[in-house]
Structure 1
Amino acid sequence: MPELPEMETYKTWLASLIGGRTITNAMIQREKSINIPAGKFMKAVTNQKIQSISRRAKYLIFQLENGSCLLLHLMLGGWMFFGKEEDKPDRTIQIQLSFGDRHLFFIGLRLGYLHLLTPEAVQAAFEKIGPEPLDPHFTLAAFQQRMQQRRGILKTVLTNQEVLAGIGNRYSDEMLWHAQLRPDQKAGHLDNQQLARLYESIRFILHKGIEQGGYMEHPLHVGDGKTGRYQMYVHGRENEPCPRCSSPIRKEEISSHKTYFCPRCQY
């Protein structure tokens, strides 16, 4: 599932590709991926200019000229491609937004969606989402207080969107490895030094993920040389040597998540 770095990468790319441009047509191949009848959706978005694109947690918000918003959550398996008809991937397209002879294709939206909402409805959808971990106002002290109030294990707490926004299964493994903390220990038992280490690791991993275009294997457009350059330290690397101590990376299921960590240098 795309996490904060992937959605931030999409936001940056799309702002340059379609920001300020007008949607000339829309096609809906899977009506379950939208929240209103297809005909009504297409009529509402056609001839609307994309005023801005922003991100909150794992969502993208496309602000339209008429004041309404398109709220995107890619969920598991969702991705996008922007380009001409002849360049699109040989995959089933659930939604297509056209900008003249180029199109934004939404792919793999079996669980994901693109909903047309009012700004108020968008804000309501974000009511229970926690703070953005890279927000300059989200200080170490605020992080420590937030974590000390939690009784769950670190893996579960980090991926809880009500605690912190945008962190999922993959990057939580990376952060805990970088901070040298086991994923199965209690969040509320960490001392201030451990929490400070985790806070810095969260920010380091997210910044690195964004700088390297996240982990997504599919390019957003022809010639896209940035998307997907992030290489995981531990996630998905079972039995490979730990980059820090060379011990084999272990995979365990923790809170229904496949979790990767080093049993030697994470403690």
Structure 2
Amino acid sequence: MPELPEMENYRRLLSQHIINVPITGVTVNREKTINMETEAFVQGLVGARVVYVERRAKHILFHLHDGRRLLLHLMLGGILYYGPEEERPDRSTQVELVFGDRILYFMGLRLGYLHLLSVKEGEAAMGKLGPELLDRRMNAERFAALLKGRRGSLKSLLVNQQVMAGIGNCYADEIAYEARLLPSAQVQNLTPEAVARLYDSVRKVLTEATDIGGYMEMPFMAGDTVTGTYNDRCKVYDREGEPCLRGGGTIVKTELSGRKVFYCPDCQHEG
């Protein structure tokens, strides 16, 4: 599932190409992907302009010129592609938005969705999400306060969207590795030093992954050489049986609260 770095990469790319370009056409191939009848969705978007693209957690919010919001959640397997008709991806699309001679293709939205909302509805949809960890207002003290009084495993905490927004399976494991903490480490037992190390790791991993385009499987558009670069940079995720890059250990895969977990048992510890 795309996480904060993937969605932030998309936000940056979208902002470069679709701002203030009128939507001249809309195709809906799967009505379950949207939140109203196709005719109403199409009529509501044709002629609209995106004036701002916002990322919130794992969501993209397209701010339209009349104040409405188009809310995207890619969920598992969702991807975007932007280009002319002759570059149409060789896979099914659920929704297509036409921006003049370019089309924004929404693919893999079997679980994901694209909803047209009022401002109030958009705010309500985002209302239960935790704070953004890369926000300039976030600091080590505020991060430590998020953990205060929490119990349970580190992995479960990191992926809890109501505590902190945007982290999923992949980056939770990468952050734990960077902080030299086991994903199973109990949050209530972490020392202040371990919490500070964890915060530094969150900032480092998410920033680096975002800057090199996350791990998406295909480029956003022709000539895009950034998207997906992080795919080969993972230290532990999907590297079961491979040697630890810090030396000595072998990456292990297990399950924790129903989620797959990757870690190095030699260099990651309880605190």
State the TM bucket, normalised to the shorter chain: over 0.9
Counterpart of 1:141 in 2: which secondary structure?
helix
Root-mean-square deviation (CA), in Å? 0.7
| Deviation at residue 148 of structure 1 after TM alignment | 2.5
Percentage of matched positions with identical amino acids: 46
CA contact (8 A) 2:81 2:104 kept: yes
Structure 1, unpaired ranges of 5+: none
CA contact (8 A) 2:71 2:122 kept: yes
Distance 2:188 2:129 in 1: 20
Aligned to 1:84: 84
For the pair 1:249 / 2:251, whether they are aligned, the reply is yes
For the pair 1:240 / 2:271, whether they are aligned, the reply is no
Letter aligned with residue 52 of structure 1: Y
| Deviation at residue 143 of structure 1 after TM alignment | 1.2
Aligned to 1:261: 263
CA contact (8 A) 2:21 2:100 kept: no
Structure 2, unpaired ranges of 5+: none
CA contact (8 A) 1:91 1:107 kept: yes
CA contact (8 A) 1:148 1:189 kept: no
Aligned to 1:13: 13
Distance 2:31 2:66 in 1: 23
Letter aligned with residue 57 of structure 1: A
Aligned to 1:125: 125
Distance 1:9 1:175 in 2: 19
| Deviation at residue 248 of structure 1 after TM alignment | 0.8
Distance 1:22 1:254 in 2: 46
Distance 2:243 2:119 in 1: 48
| Deviation at residue 220 of structure 1 after TM alignment | 0.4
| Deviation at residue 245 of structure 1 after TM alignment | 2.2
Counterpart of 2:26 in 1: which secondary structure?
strand
TM-score by length of 2: 0.97
Distance 2:216 2:152 in 1: 29
Letter aligned with residue 92 of structure 1: S
Aligned to 1:211: 211
Distance 2:189 2:128 in 1: 24
CA contact (8 A) 2:248 2:266 kept: no
Counterpart of 1:156 in 2: which secondary structure?
helix
Distance 1:127 1:51 in 2: 22
Letter aligned with residue 128 of structure 2: K
TM-score by length of 1: 0.99
For the pair 1:225 / 2:251, whether they are aligned, the reply is no
Letter aligned with residue 200 of structure 1: D
Once the two structures are superposed, the pairs formed by residues 49-88 of structure 1 within 5 Å of their partners are: 49-88=49-88
